[in-house]
Amino acid sequence: MSKPNLETRLRRLRLAHMATHLEAQHTDSLAQKHSYLEFLELLVDGELAARDTKAMGKRIQRAAFPVAKTLEEFDFNFQPKLDVKLVKSLATSKYIEDRENVLLVGQPGTGKTHLAIALGMKAIELGYDVRFTTIQHLAAKLRSALADSTSEERIAEFTEPDLVILDELGFTPLDRLLADAFYRIIATRYERGSIIITSNKSFESWAEVFPDAVIASAVLDRLVHHAHLVPIVGESYRMKEIRSRRKGGEGQKQSA
């Protein structure tokens, strides 16, 4: 009985990238006069790179970002009061290693969600498991879970990852049941896992979001302990774009 060829044996070992690129790398290594060890090293490096890329793709998919945003795309010049040094320090994801939180606070349209997603992407690049959700989507999932008695599973989705991003706290008030579930997520992650929260409300106004000041205080107390506060005081990107479009339209009318 004939022995399967090398490509087949590599696939049986789940070395798909090496199997796919075996012949091409062999041809290139002959042309470059690589040693046997260099040839093998190039194949192994390619396999590892392919696996890393695949694993990162899966982490991005699990994170459930609404859009792709990077720190490199963020216009720091538009928000001159933003602490750029702090943001770039957070991009190292050391706060995750230290189980610290990040609180991005500012008016709508100032780039909070962009920064939150971008920091999440940096964490994924470093191998961390990340989950993203808006408070509104989390509330909808928790309401559904309370109805079919799967709330424990839903809460676990946001207590197990290395980093959880909760976007848009403050746009919608939480009722008692949702506030209690939200508190459980925060309390369970306290000093065990990192959270990024974006909010359009100052801390003094958080009582407006929760059904009473006691829960608001308990949540805030656990979040701000070991936290990096990133206030964003500036103009809305969306309002800037609207004004630009209006100016462009006025210019066209005048030329006409």
pLDDT tens sequence across 219-246 = 999 999 999 999 998 777 666 666 666 6
pLDDT at 100 over 90: yes
Higher pLDDT, 245 or 186: 186
Instruction: Quickly state the pLDDT bin for 142 (edges 50, 70, 90).
Output: confident
Position 238 scores a pLDDT of: 65
Q: What is the mean pLDDT of the chain?
A: 90
Q: How far apart are CA 128 and CA 189, in angstroms?
A: 15
What average pLDDT does range 104-108 have in this prediction? Answer: 93
pLDDT tier at 1, thresholds 50, 70, 90: low
Pair type for strands 101-106 and 194-199: parallel
Query: pLDDT at position 152, please?
Result: 85
Q: Is the pLDDT of residue 255 over 60?
A: no
Return the minimum-mean-pLDDT range out of 114-118, 143-147, 238-242: 238-242
Task: Report the pLDDT averaged over residues 209-223.
Answer: 92
pTM surpassing 0.75?
yes
Distances (CA, A) of 120 to 91, 95, 191, 215: 9, 12, 19, 27
As a whole number, mean pLDDT of residues 103-132 equals 96
Average pLDDT, integer, range 157-170: 94
Mean pLDDT of 48-53: 92
For the segment 119-136, the average pLDDT, to the nearest whole number, is 96
Of the candidates 225, 138, 131, the one whose C-alpha atom is nearest the C-alpha of residue 182 is 138
- Alpha carbon dihedral 79, 85, 87, 90, in 10-degree steps, equals 180
If one counts every other C-beta atom within 10 angstroms of the C-beta of residue 117, the result is 24
**Can you give the pLDDT at residue 236?**
78
Q: For residue 177, what pLDDT band results from cuts at 50, 70 and 90?
A: confident
Average pLDDT over residues 57-66: 96
